[in-house]
Amino acid sequence: MSAHFNRIIPIVYCMTAHTVEMSDSLFNININSTGADENTYDAIVIGSGISGGWAAKELCEHGAKTLVLERGRNVEHLKDYPTMSKDPWEFKHRGQMTKEFLTENPLISKAAGFGEDTAHFFVKDKDHPYEQEKPFDWIRGYQVGGKSIIWGRACQRWSNFEFTAPARFGYGMDWPIRYNDVAPWYSHVEKFIGVCGNKDGVEAMPDGEFLPPFDLNCVEQHVKNEFKRQFGRFLVQGRWAHLSVPNEIHTEQGRGRCLSRNLCMRGCPYGGYFSSLSSTLPWASKTNNLTIRPFSVVHSVIFDDKKQRAIGVRVIDTNTKEITDFFAKVIFVNASALNSSLILLNSTSERFPDGLGNDSGTLGKYVGFHLYRGGVGGEIDGFEDKYYYVRNPTEPIIANYRNLHQQDTDYVGGFTTFMSAYRSRGTQATDGSGIGQEFKHASTLPGKWKIYGYMQGETIMKATNHVRLSKEKKDQWGIPILVTSVGYDDNDEKMIKDFLTETSTMLERSGFKNIVAHDNKQAPGLDIHEMGGVRMGADPKTSMLNKWNQLHQCKNVFVTDGGCMTSTGNQSPSILYMALTARSANYAIKEMKKGTL
């Protein structure tokens, strides 16, 4: 049993009287009363990642006996970070993957941060197959903690521009909430997870509850000054989920200060960055209300046609393929956007033949992502008397400056830009011209200052960008595989072109030279910001969820991961998922106490 979690159930312990083998009688399981009692909780949370961890924390803190279902293996903070402190020479292949592995895993090996030091936190291509109707790279991490162990950690708040732009400019459906609805929950989350940053007073990127930021280096400070002076645009210090200076709430979690190792995706032994594994799940465990069940693939949410409500969740043991049902008053679906769509699409009943709550026909549709195709780099003379001494785990951010109060381009939406300056090694150490003593000496000398920037752009959520269940193919657990049909459009191409032009111009006018602008043409998905499929909206005829993230047609089921998104915006989405989850979980607790759920 983990010291961090109140109860972790090995699969073998769950085979109660009502468990049956996978068979054609899957939908005719008889649950005896004893089994139902043993497997009944106040709440069930599907998924243990960023949003699932927050659902568990809030529900458990308010006294709800909560079961967290995780399809992957159990992972414990610190204990299961095998590469967290390894030096480069300790890796057999110096951080690279073998040719055999790359051949067998052409998809996952493209993921940002993937390598010999982090491979154990990513899903291999064959372990959960899906079908790409259009090229889409679906990056997944199945373990307790999910992708919160390997996320990018950027934490900008959405502004009201993002919540209102689709309706204002006519390219999407209006959100049923606004920034002011989420602002207090942003604060609630930021104080707990620890977000470094600076209060910059930028309308397009609202300030939050910040720990001290990581400093800009001299060239980044130059860029900030020039962009503001010449263009009226704002480079802000990185707003990242890192404990630059921990507060009491963070030390109470057992977390320590970020040491700027920038080895975050290996798992941080200090808890210096936020993950559900080091923060929300252990916190929930302190309440003695948490049970975690790994190795549990969710087949479907069980809807009772007589009661006209969801009553539980059907689970398949990933190892034995045996089936177990669990029951609860409230169910939170936090499996990550596409898996949440998959589960709900597979949750059919007499009342919902096309998927749970899918009267609108929108389930699995209006899938979006972020544009990461554009990148710009350059170098600048001067500043040769200055250097820096840490591996800054954050990056400065240029707040969106497009299509804010009015549409000022030939496309809709906007983009955030991540940009950072660095000083390269001496020329002979990087161009291969030096050898031996000459090479070693060159390696000790700094070279020119350089800069890079890349875009994070909004995409239009539309019905044609969708996922659906395959009618022919099933995975190893007998569940239909997901078919992805998600692609770019003309609006994306215009935005990419504008980003490359504008960023190059800003750098050139700020004194940079040898500027290179590049469109990497990568398929959607590598941004790992898939969103939508179970979108929020005021009208049940055109959306799946109401303003509290409840299914319109099944009020005791909530979806608060990326699947709930009505539009993609341009800010990093993970902290919004956390805020929406905390907001919804607290609402669910109030409704449970009133007896309405």
Domain 1-21+31-77+152-194+274-362+530-597 listed as CATH 2.40.128.50: no
**CA distances in angstroms from 465 to 129, 362, 488, listed in the order given:** 19, 11, 9
- Domain map of the chain by residue range? 1-21+31-77+152-194+274-362+530-597, 195-261+372-457+488-519
Q: How much is the CA Rg of the chain, to the nearest whole Å?
A: 24
pTM for this prediction: 0.94
d(CA 233, CA 402): 10
d(CA 79, CA 155): 27
Per-residue pLDDT of the chain (597 residues; tens, 9 = 90+): 333 445 555 433 233 333 333 333 333 343 433 457 789 999 999 999 999 999 999 999 999 999 999 999 999 999 999 999 999 999 999 999 999 999 999 999 999 999 999 999 999 999 999 999 999 999 999 999 999 999 999 999 999 999 999 999 999 999 999 999 999 999 999 999 999 999 999 999 999 999 999 999 999 999 999 999 999 999 999 999 999 999 999 999 999 999 999 999 999 999 999 999 999 999 999 999 999 999 999 999 999 999 999 999 999 999 999 999 999 999 999 999 999 999 999 999 999 999 999 999 999 999 999 999 999 999 999 999 998 878 999 999 999 999 999 999 999 999 999 999 999 876 555 555 667 787 777 777 888 999 999 999 999 999 999 999 999 999 999 999 999 999 999 999 999 999 999 999 999 999 999 999 999 999 999 999 999 999 999 999 999 999 999 999 999 999 999 999 999 999 999 999 999 999 999 999 999 999 999
Contact 272, 258 (CB under 8 A): yes
Tokens standing for residue 28: 């005719």
d(CA 161, CA 405): 8
d(CA 84, CA 266): 5
Tokens standing for residue 70: 């995780």
